[in-house]
Amino acid sequence: MSQMTADELNLQTEQIMDVLKEQWEKAAGAGEEQLLHFFTAAAYTLGSFVPFSMGPEGFGPMTMKLFDSLTNGIQLGMQAAGVEGTMIKIVKE
């Protein structure tokens, strides 16, 4: 497997974000219940991909990377929305 360039990573990230944003906008417009379903379905889907992507020894590290990305996204979203506060993460390496 070859490593992706920074441009390729950015393009792939944008494509994933565009798909998710479209679905999020639909859910947000439909109400709180649909929005909650969007978040739980997205999380469930990501989790279900993990066992098909690596061996069992990678499940823990990948779960931690997913949590780290989630909390980083929440923190950035808070800043963009003007919400004061800080996500506190406890990391065990």
Among candidates 61, 33, 62, which has minimal Cα distance to 46? 62
C-alpha count within 13 angstroms, C-beta hemisphere, residue 12:
7
**pLDDT of amino acid 93:** 65
| Claim to verify: residue 64 and residue 36 sit in the same structural domain | no
Do 9 and 48 fall within a single domain? Answer: yes
Q: Which domain holds residue 5?
A: 1-53
Task: Name the one residue in this structure whose structure tokens are 């020894």.
Answer: 57
Distance CA 5, CA 13 (A): 12
19 lies in the same domain as 35: yes
Same domain, 47 and 74: no
pLDDT along the chain (93 residues), means of 10: 88 95 97 97 96 95 92 92 86 68
> In angstroms, rounded to a whole number, what is the distance separating the alpha carbons of residues 64 and 24?
24
